[in-house]
Amino acid sequence: MNDLDYADEEQRYQAEVKKHFRWNFAVNLLDGAFFWFGINFAAAGTILPLYVRHLTDSDLLIGLVATIASAGWYLPQLLTANYIGRLPRKKPVVINIGFFTERLAFLGMAASAFLFAARSPAFALTSFFLSLTWLNVGAGLIAVAWQEMVAKVIPVRYRGRLLGTANFVGTASGILGAALAASILDRYPFPTNFGLCFVLAFLFILLSWVFLALTREPTLHSRKPAISLAEYWRRLPDMLRRDHNFASYLLARVMTVLGRMGIGFLTVYAVERWQLTDSQAGLYTTAILVGQALANLIFGSLADRRGHKLVLESSLALAIFSMLAALWVPSPRWMYLVFAAVGAFSASDVLSMIGIVMEFGNPEDRTTYFGLANTIPGLFAAVAPVIGGWIASRSDYRTTFAVAAGLSVVAWATLHWKVQEPRETSATARP
C-alpha cells in the first residue's frame, strides 16, 4: 500500500472511530461488566484455591492456580504479536478463539466437580487444571488482539474511563454474585456447590461474548513490511535498547508480579488460621469486589486525567499494605480489609497495566509493546506463586507475605524513580 492509499484509509478509519465511538463504548462496557460479574463465580484468588484445597493439601498445587492464571494470560502474547500486528481487523481473532477458550473452559471445570471430585479427587484435579490451562492460555492467545481492538476503537482519553467503568459495574454487581456464590457454597454440599458456581461463571461470561461480538472495528492495514517470527524476535532487543523508559517499566512490572506471590494463599491462610467454613471464606470475594469497584471508579478517571503511572504506583502501595496487614490482623474480620486492598490493586492490572502500554511507542508498534509487556513479566508470574508455595512449605504463609511485600516495595521504587509517564514522552494522541 502506497502512502497516498494509506492516508486515505487512515482518514476513513478515523472517521469510522468517531462515528461508532458511542456504540463501541457501550458494547465494550457491557462486555466488561458481564465478564467481571461472571468471573467472580470462579475467582482465581478465592474460589478456585478453595476448590483445589478440597481435593489436595499440597501448597504447591494450590499455588499452581495462581501460576496458571497469570502465566496463561501473559506468556502467549509475544508469540502472537507479530501476526496480530499484520491483521487489518483484530475482532475475528477475539471472537472466534475467545468463544472456545474463555467460555467453554468453564464447562470443563464444572465437569471436574460434578463428575469426578467426589469419586476420584486425583482425576478431578487433573481435569480441573487442564480446564484452567485451556481457559488462561486461550485468553493469552487472544489478549494482544483484544487489547489492540480496544485501542483502535476507543480514543486514548477515554480508555481509562471505559475500563474503569466496565470493571466498576461488573464488580459492583459482582458483590451480589459473590454473596450468591457464598450462599451456594454454604447451601449445597461439596462438590455440587463448586460445580454450580462454575456453570454460572460460564453463563455470564458467554453473555459478555455476545456484547463483545457487536463491536464495530474499522479496517486499518499496517504499513510495516511482513517479517518472519524469527526475524521479529531478533529485533526485540533493539527495541528495548532504544526505548529506555519502556525497559524500566518492564523491570518494574517484573518486580510487581513477583510481589504478588502471596495472593493465592490468603484465603487458605485465613481458613487454616481461624478454621473458617467454605461460605465464610467465600465472602472474602465480596471484599475483593468492593475494593475493585471503588478502585475502578477512582482509578479510571485518575488515569484519564493524570496518567496510568500514578495509578500503578497507588496500586503497588495497596499491594504492600495487603501483605503486611495479613501478618498482623488479629481476627478473620480484619481480613476483609486485606482482601479489599487485594481487589483494589488487582483492578489496576486490567485498567492501567493495559492502558499504560497503549501509550508507549507509536500505534504501529503497539502489538509488540503488548507482547513484551505481558510475556516477559509472565515468565516471572509463572514461577512466583510456586516460589511462594515453596517458601510456605519450608516456613509458613507469613514468610511468603513478608517476601512479597519486600518485592512490591522494590517495584514501587523502580516505577516511581525510573519510569516517566509515557503520555508525556510519546506521540500517541491518536487511537
431 residues of the chain, pLDDT tens digit each: 555 566 788 889 889 989 999 999 999 889 988 887 888 888 887 789 889 989 998 878 888 887 888 778 778 888 888 899 889 999 999 999 989 888 899 999 999 999 999 999 999 999 999 999 999 999 999 989 998 999 899 887 788 788 778 777 776 777 777 778 888 988 899 999 999 999 999 999 999 999 999 999 999 888 778 888 888 889 899 988 999 999 999 999 999 999 999 988 898 899 889 988 877 777 787 788 788 888 887 888 888 888 889 999 999 999 999 999 999 999 999 999 999 999 898 887 767 888 898 888 777 788 899 889 888 888 888 788 889 989 998 889 999 999 999 999 999 999 999 999 887 775 444 44
Residue 234 lies in a domain: yes
| pLDDT at residue 431, rounded to an integer | 46
Residue 177 lies in a domain: yes
Residue 429 lies in a domain: no
- Give residue 300's domain range: 11-220+228-424
| pTM > 0.85 | no
Q: What is the dihedral of CA 156, 39, 264, 176, to 10 degrees?
A: 110
Residue 431 lies in a domain: no
Residue 430 lies in a domain: no
Residue 128 lies in a domain: yes
The rounded distance, in Å, linking the Cα atoms of 111 and 114 is: 5
The rounded distance, in Å, linking the Cα atoms of 101 and 80 is: 16
Residue 366 lies in a domain: yes
Domain with 64 in it: what CATH number? 1.20.1250.20
The rounded distance, in Å, linking the Cα atoms of 138 and 216 is: 23
Q: Are 223 and 86 in contact (CB under 8 A)?
A: no
Count up the domains in the chain and report the number.
Answer: 1
Residue 347 lies in a domain: yes
Residues 6+ apart with CB under 8 A from 266: 45, 284, 322, 326, 335, 338, 339, 342
